[in-house]
Amino acid sequence: MAYKKVEQYDGDTTASLIETYERALGLLGEDPQREGLLKTPERIAKAMQFMTQGYQQSSRDILNSAKFHEPISEMIIVKDIEVYSMCEHHMLPFFGKAHVAYIPNGWITGLSKIARVVDVYARRLQVQERLTTQILDAIKDALQPLGVAVVIEASHLCMMMRGVQKQNSVTTTSAFFGEFEKNETRSEFIRLIGSSLH
């Protein structure tokens, strides 16, 4: 049988959200019964559940599902991980890239698990500052590494579409632990995420 992706949504949650979004459309001056909007409340209800699925996921379980003993202590970097999240202040998207590194202390994890941990916390209502530290803390707690580093660069639609309306602004946040608190190690990480080796 061919691979088939199935998205599952809680029925009660979906129904309640549909009612909420139908009412919101009316309050905004639209007609929820207009042909083009008939299925919009259901689409939004499902989209919002998809974009906040991180609340139902465990970063520890993800990292432990592919945890291997390896006697190495060299820097491992997964860079340019796409980030899509929602600003908790306006519920507008922010998006960009995360760069994550750690120095093992006897344990490594599957490379894809690092990207999944980013998604666990990005797929919630967020602020970029907290997202950065949550990713660091998750890796630190699950792998007990010698060091962890996380840098996120993102554009925020709440700054681009409304408010100050600055189209080209980019926000950069960083968090460092352990060996990355040393200038030499941190500088090597910053140099490597800024270079094109491929």
Catalytic residue among 49, 126, 128, 134: 128
Catalytic residue among 89, 129, 144, 181: 89
CA-CA-CA-CA dihedral for 142, 148, 154, 157, to nearest 10: 40
What 8-state DSSP symbol labels residue 55?
Answer: G
Non-local CB neighbours of 22 within 8 Å, separated by 6+ positions? 32, 41
Sign of CA dihedral 121, 59, 135, 113: negative
Whether 198 is a known active-site residue: answer no
Whether 19 is a known active-site residue: answer no
E strands, the chain, where?
A: 67-69, 76-87, 93-103, 107-109, 125-126, 147-156, 171-178
Catalytic residue among 30, 53, 57, 158: 158
Non-local CB neighbours of 77 within 8 Å, separated by 6+ positions? 99, 100, 101, 189, 192, 193
Catalytic residue among 88, 129, 144, 181: 88
Catalytic residue among 87, 99, 126, 179: 87
Q: Which residue in this structure is represented by tokens 């800024």?
A: 194
Whether 128 is a known active-site residue: answer yes
Catalytic residue among 57, 90, 153, 188: 90
3-state secondary structure of 96: strand
Catalytic residue among 22, 49, 134, 156: 156
Whether 165 is a known active-site residue: answer no
Whether 90 is a known active-site residue: answer yes
Tokens of 36: 């083009």
Residue at 32: amino acid letter: P
Annotated catalytic sites, by residue? Answer: 87-90, 128, 156, 158
